[in-house]
């Protein structure tokens, strides 16, 4: 459930500046220093199981396999239904993860946000001619990433993981129990990457703790050609108590249909009521359309209390890497999977040594937190400020009309780096935000 509206992320100083990455077809192999105290693995390579074949798991498997690790990528057979996901990915991901253009359904250059009173703002006026938001279908992306991981040497296991048996010592194996072709199987491995989503069985196996989950609900609707043309390069976002008490609803264009959906964490039992609300808001635009698919899925609201235990690491939704306010998860899933895979390659010296919990925390978790924890916390704050009432949502939409806000937001979103701003404009933006909140709260009270 990702969109360009990581709105106002320019208000805080990022701990890292990420430049636009160079394209490469697989993760760079990282050589570790040879002062490791971990025991060598004579006559064999480190063996890793990656549980879950979405963007997080496939990216981890690709990094592991291309780095010399014997890698097994588990995905359910038949594949699980793609979760309801807006399908928007930032421009930098296309290059960083070498996503081919044929996977992109739509090049969105216009975003429109609607307030609770149905006032609209065009959000995208500052996009440059070569900039766009890529819209794709998760099932297409996931299949491509799994196939690419296979091409680099990962062994795809079509099966349902039923249990993860924990080791008796620091060097004995984990045992992955799974069913495939109506038969039970088991596989001993040295290290496990849990990429099996919000309801992660791997996380439960290592007692990683619980977290609050939102629910996302989405209908894919095939529109008549003349109505689909309206959404050719346009995505829409709606806010208001009628569509979600704590998030937003969306209409995102796909190859031959639109995805219409919403999400909530505090009123999950009413999700169908909020879906009815977004359908009511857009009824004239989607009338005559036919629902071709209905999807629902849990979405994590914050990182898990424990993301590494022993030789098990969590990535993507299993780790809780979905941003509040924007609901962006695809990029962070793929990024966390790749970082985790590269960390294991580095710690194991290309698969020649065993790894331990300290290695995973040092090479993966600390690096991840140093890059992204501030972003996640700040977007949590923004959601509390702007999604708490209809008055605050009116202020958000009013603020989004400012071209400086749009430029800074898109720079931060598209390239995952802190945009170079104008300090005078930053101060002005803060004051405008305060002013909009005050004014809209006065309007709301009336």
Phi, psi of 25 (to 5 degrees): -80, -15
For the stretch 48-64, pLDDT in tens is: 999 999 999 999 999 99
Whether pLDDT at 71 is above 60: yes
* CA dist., res. 212 & res. 416, Å (int): 26
Confidence of residue 211 (pLDDT cuts 50, 70, 90): confident
Task: Provide, rounded to the nearest whole percent, the portion of the chain with pLDDT above 90.
Answer: 67
For the stretch 372-395, pLDDT in tens is: 988 888 888 888 888 889 999 998
HSE-CB for 227 with a 13 A CA cutoff: 16
* CA dist., res. 251 & res. 33, Å (int): 50
What was the pLDDT predicted at 78? Answer: 57
Confidence of residue 101 (pLDDT cuts 50, 70, 90): very high
* CA dist., res. 255 & res. 232, Å (int): 9
* CA dist., res. 56 & res. 336, Å (int): 7
What was the pLDDT predicted at 346? Answer: 97
How many other CB atoms are found less than 10 A from the CB of residue 130? 6
What was the pLDDT predicted at 21? Answer: 39
* CA dist., res. 381 & res. 19, Å (int): 25
Q: Which residue is associated with the tokens 């999977």?
A: 337
Confidence of residue 244 (pLDDT cuts 50, 70, 90): very high
* CA dist., res. 384 & res. 372, Å (int): 19
Q: Span 159-172, mean pLDDT?
A: 94
The pTM assigned to this predicted structure is 0.88
Element at 290 (helix H, strand E) = strand 290-300
How many other CB atoms are found less than 10 A from the CB of residue 28? 13
Beta bridge partners of 71: 48
Confidence of residue 12 (pLDDT cuts 50, 70, 90): very low
For the stretch 126-158, pLDDT in tens is: 899 999 999 999 999 999 999 999 999 999 999
Q: Which residues, in sequence order, are CB contacts of 124 under 8 Å at separation 6+? A: 4, 108, 109, 110, 111, 406, 410
C-alpha pair distances (Å), 75 with each of 55, 60, 189, 320, 403: 12, 13, 16, 20, 44
Element at 219 (helix H, strand E) = strand 213-222
Q: Span 204-228, mean pLDDT?
A: 94
* DSSP SS3 for 369: helix
- Do residues 295 and 243 make contact, with C-beta atoms less than 8 angstroms apart? no
């Amino acid at each position: 459930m990702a969109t360009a509206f990581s709105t106002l992320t320019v208000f805080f100083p990022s701990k890292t500046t990420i430049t636009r990455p160079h394209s490469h077809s697989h993760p760079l192999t990282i050589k570790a220093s040879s002062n490791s105290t971990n025991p060598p693995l004579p006559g064999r390579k480190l063996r890793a199981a990656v549980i879950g074949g979405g963007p997080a798991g496939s990216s981890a498997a690709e990094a592991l396999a291309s780095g010399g690790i014997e890698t097994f990528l588990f995905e359910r057979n038949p594949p699980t239904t793609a979760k309801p996901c807006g399908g928007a990915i930032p421009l930098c991901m296309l290059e960083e993860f070498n996503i081919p253009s044929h996977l992109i359904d739509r090049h969105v250059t216009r975003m429109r946000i609607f307030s609770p009173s149905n006032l609209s703002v065009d959000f995208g006026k500052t996009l440059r001619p070569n900039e766009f938001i890529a819209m794709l279908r998760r099932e297409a992306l996931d299949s491509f990433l799994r196939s690419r991981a296979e091409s680099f040497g990962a062994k795809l296991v079509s099966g349902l993981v039923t249990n993860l048996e924990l080791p008796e010592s620091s060097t004995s194996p984990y045992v992955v129990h799974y069913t495939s072709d109506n038969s039970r199987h088991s596989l001993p491995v040295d290290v496990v990457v849990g990429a099996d989503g919000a309801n992660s069985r791997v996380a439960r196996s290592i007692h990683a703790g619980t977290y609050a989950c939102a629910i996302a609900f989405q209908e894919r609707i095939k529109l008549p050609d003349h109505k689909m043309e309206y959404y050719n390069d346009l995505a829409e976002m709606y806010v208001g108590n009628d569509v979600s008490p704590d998030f937003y609803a969306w209409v995102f264009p796909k190859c031959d249909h639109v995805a219409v959906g919403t999400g909530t964490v505090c009123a999950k039992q009413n999700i169908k009521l909020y879906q009815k609300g977004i359908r009511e808001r857009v009824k004239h635009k989607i009338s005559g359309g036919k629902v071709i698919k209905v999807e629902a899925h849990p979405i994590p609201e914050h990182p898990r209390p424990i993301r590494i235990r022993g030789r098990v690491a969590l990535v993507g939704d299993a780790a809780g890497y979905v941003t509040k306010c924007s609901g962006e998860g695809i990029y962070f899933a793929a990024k966390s999977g790749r970082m985790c895979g590269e960390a294991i390659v580095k710690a194991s010296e290309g698969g020649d040594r065993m790894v331990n919990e300290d290695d995973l925390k040092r090479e993966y978790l600390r690096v991840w937190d140093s890059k992204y924890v501030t972003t996640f916390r700040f977007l949590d704050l923004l959601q509390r400020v702007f999604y708490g009432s209809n008055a605050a949502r009116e202020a958000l939409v009013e603020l989004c009309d400012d071209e400086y806000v749009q430029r800074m937001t898109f720079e931060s979103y598209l390239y995952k780096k802190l945009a170079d701003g104008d300090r005078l404009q930053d101060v002005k933006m803060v004051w405008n935000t305060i002013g909009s909140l005050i004014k809209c709260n006065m309007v709301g009270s009336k």
